[in-house]
Each structure stands twice: as C-alpha cells, then as structure tokens.
Amino acid sequence: MENKEVSTSGVIVQDLIQRSKKAARREHELTIREAISQHKGGVFWAICFCLPNLIIGYDPTIVGSLVGIPEFRRKFGYEYPAGSGTYVLQASWTSAFTYAPVIGFMLAAVWGGWCVDRFGPRKTLLGATVLSLGTLLIEVLGESAAVIFVGDLLTGLLTGSFPVLGPAYISEILPVLGSLIGTGILRGTEDRTDKWAYKVPFITEYAFPLMFIIGALFAPETPWFLVKKGRYEQATKSLKRIGYVDNTDDTLAHMKETIALEEEVSQSATYLDCFRGTNLRRTAICAIAYSGQFFCGINIASGYCTYFFELAGVTTNQAFDLSLGLFGLGVIGNILSWPLITYWGRRPGYIVTAGLATLFMYLIGFLGIAPASNTGAMYAKSVILLLFNFVYNIGLGPIVYVLIAELPNTKIRGKTLGVACFVPHVFSISITAGLPYAMSNTEANWGAKTGFLFAGLGTLTVIWAFFYLPESKNRTFEELDVLFTRKVSARKFASTNLSDFDAGHEMKCFGNEDA
C-alpha cells in the first residue's frame, strides 16, 4: 500500500487527519465489553505475549527461595552453631542468588528495548527464548554456588527482556502466578535430603520455553511496529487478525498521523532521544514510577518472603506455606486489578496503593521492635506482609506496566521501556544486595525493622506521585503527545480539554519546542 496520505515533506493532509480523528473517537466510545468482543484475536495474542513474564517471577523465586531448603543450605552453606546440625548460607551468597537475575534484567532492558524497536517484539521473544534453553541447562547441571549464580545471571539476561516485549496494558498477573507456582514446587521438594531437592525446581523451568516459541512463531507482528517501518500492507493484515475488520483504514490513518507528528519532533530514534525535549519528562516518569515498586518494599515480599517468615519465628514448612499464601493473594489481587484499573485510573490507583504499602511497612517496622518472645507480633508481621502483597498486586504492581506502556513516545517506545526497566533495577540490585545483611541475625540483625527503610522510601514515592505522575486513562497516544508538548501539569492531565486540538498546528509547535 502506498502512503498517499503523507507527503514526502512529512505534512499530513486533511483526509488523513479526519480519518485519524474518526478512529480516535471510536476508541473513546468503545466500552471494555465491546473492545473484548470485537478484538478477541488481539486479546488472545496480547495474553500470549505476556505469558513469558511467568519466567520473570518463576526463576528469581526458585533461586531466591532456595535458601529456605535445608538440603541446599547443607550443600552450599556451613553449620551454625557448630555441632547443631543446622546449616546456614553466607549472607553474600544469599544476596548473590537473589540479585543475579536482577543484574540480568537490568542489562536485558537495554538490549531488549533496542531489539523491540529494530526487529519487533515477535522476533525478539523468539530469539531470547531459544537462547534461554541453554542458560537454564547451566542451572540444572550446576554443582557449585558459582555455577548456579552464572546460570541464573545469564537466564536473567535473556528473560529480563520479556517485560519490554508484551503489551503492557495487561496487568502483572503472570509474574505473580510464576512466583506462586515456583513456591509450590519448592514446598513439594524442600523435605528431600538429596540434590534433587533443589535441582527439580530448576528442571521444571523447561515447561515454559516451548510454549513461548510456538506462540512467537504463529503470532502476528504488532501493527504499530509495522507502520513505523512503513510496511502498511502487513500492518493492515495484522490489524485484521486482531479484530479491526471494518475500520482498518481509519485505524491505520490514526497510527500514521501519530507517528508522523512524532517524526516532526525527532528525526532519529536512539537512546539519547529518550532524554531530549518532552521525551525527558516521559522517560523520567516511567523510570521513577517503576522504581516505586522497589522503594515501597516489594523485594521483601517477592525475593525474601520465605526467609522473612523464618526470621519471624515460624518453622520452615510454615514459612513455605505462608509464602504460598502470599503469592496466592497476589494472584487474586492481580485479577481484581483488571476492573479496578479501568475504574479508578492510573494516577489514583498508584497513589492509594503505594500509600497503603508504605503504611504496612511502617507497621512491620514497629512490630520488629517487639521482643522475639512476643508470639502475637511474630504472626502480625507475617499477616501484614501478606496484606502488603495483596494491596501491591491490586494497584502499584500492575499499574506500573500500564503506565510505561502508555506514556512513552510511540517512535521510541521500546527504548523508553528499556530505560524505564534499567533504572529501577539499579536500585533493586542495591536493595537486594543489602537486605540479607540487614535482616540476618548474624549480621545487622534488623529483622522486621527493615520495614522502616522502605517506609521512608515509600513516603517519598507517594509525594512524588502526587505532584508528578499524570493520568493516562482514556487518552490516545496522540492526545498524550499533545499534553506533554503543552507541558500540562500532571494533576491536570485528566481534566484538560483537547477539543481545540489541530494536528497541523501542533506539529509546528512540536518542531519549535524541541528545536
């Protein structure tokens, strides 16, 4: 299909603008029920592209929770106290096993963002999944802590690209589901007294890659990627496969107009463009909003819950059972988040749930002051951590993925997502490396008082969100471009009237703004 609507100089003709507005109006008028009904194919493939996030939650949970398996501690740890028959793992290895995938995720975000913009999410998913088959084998065959660490790091380097790939408007249910399955498998093997107590969980990770590979082979490439590459005929076919049967031309026109407007802002598409002009604000919002997950204390719930429960005073079996309950509540919370995100929007949902998560961390910190003999405080800490994970997965967790999908400039979406995933993992590595030392009774011995650290960071996150986090609900990508270009206050994104929007005028403003 020839691009007759857009001239070689990049000026959008009136016909393209009118059809684009028609498509935008239809998007605003479409209800959730109608959208699902009309775009069953799109919903199906969206879920398929989010399935790989199972490994994001599965692998770190497997490795991070291995410290709770007695046989693993006996194999790689030391007896403490001497002659007691009880084994512990050095704090350095406890943190290393947890931050190995985080380092991989951080680096993967950079190359994943570049690959998504260059090759599209479909080919990127296929390549990363095939290569992960080899890195998982390193974890299965590893007979030393160092080898397992390297295997986990390399697996994270590949699977860490998955959050950049999927249509992030679908909530975070799958990473949580992966953690639930992983903890359940660990609960079933932790009583074994041989090496299979920790090797079986690694082997089970092979259940996923084949499913991802098959999905990537049959999935259509995303229409937005194809339009950006000028492959309009393929984009039309892709639109029809995901449910745009009667209004393909209007939808394609809307995509062309949005991308053409952004072309006026920047003729290049590099990582530096994420920090130029209006893109700097968008990148900063995505990165800080994502970092809020770690500032509010999710590392304790996701990576150290079993360890935390054991420090609280419960038995190993009880710790694993509580961890299953924690991740189970997370799944329920994610399911509830689907209608709630639609109802309360991004900004209110983020602020409220981040505020509640911060409150829970304050409570855990204060309960940590109680003496170890206080049984009530012991169980209260465990219950509050369960509630924390439930609230987190209702809002703060899934809302972040919606925000980082909607707020970036469409031309550099993959690269912005890469930056947005890279920055938080820098903080996550620092937190993950320090937590074992802070919580361990042989090191700083903070225990539950670690909650005060995240309570303080969470307070700063809530204050930032109130002043700087915009609402993107019910806004098209084109409207978000206009709001950012006009430098509208974050608190006024939802209420600003854009009925005076004129594509040609805004395009000139874009050029002047970023010149």
Is residue 512 included in any domain, yes or no? no
> Can you give the CATH number for the domain in which 286 is found?
1.20.1250.20
Is residue 99 included in any domain, yes or no? yes
Q: What is the C-alpha to C-alpha distance for residues 356 and 345, in angstroms, rounded to an integer?
A: 17
Q: What is the pTM of this model?
A: 0.67
CA distances from 276 to 269, 272, 509, 515 (A): 11, 7, 15, 10
What integer pLDDT is reported at residue 8 of this predicted model? 39
Q: How many residues does the chain have?
A: 515
Is residue 10 included in any domain, yes or no? no
Is residue 9 included in any domain, yes or no? no
Is residue 501 included in any domain, yes or no? no
Blockwise average pLDDT, block size 10, the chain, 515 residues: 43 56 57 58 62 60 66 77 75 74 80 78 81 82 81 83 53 37 47 53 59 74 77 80 70 74 63 88 95 89 69 68 73 78 87 96 90 78 86 89 84 82 84 76 77 94 96 85 90 84 51 43
Other beta carbons less than 10 A from residue 317's beta carbon:
12
Handedness of CA 453, 458, 463, 469 (dihedral sign): positive
**3-state DSSP assignment of residue 208:** coil
Specify the number of domains making up the chain.
1
Which residues share a beta bridge with 6?
A: 12
What integer pLDDT is reported at residue 344 of this predicted model? 83
Cβ within 8 Å of residue 492, ≥6 positions away: none
Phi first, then psi: give them for residue 370, nearest 5 degrees: -65, 150
Is residue 506 included in any domain, yes or no? no
What integer pLDDT is reported at residue 503 of this predicted model? 52
Q: Which domain holds residue 214?
A: 51-219+266-474
Candidates 379, 423, 1, 451; CA nearest to 415 is: 423
Q: What is the C-alpha to C-alpha distance for residues 3 and 13, in angstroms, rounded to an integer?
A: 11
| Cα separation of the two ends of the chain | 32
Is residue 32 included in any domain, yes or no? no
What integer pLDDT is reported at residue 266 of this predicted model? 55
Other beta carbons less than 10 A from residue 403's beta carbon:
24
Phi first, then psi: give them for residue 469, nearest 5 degrees: -90, 120
What integer pLDDT is reported at residue 188 of this predicted model? 47
CA distances from 398 to 74, 92, 331, 475, 479 (A): 37, 31, 11, 18, 23
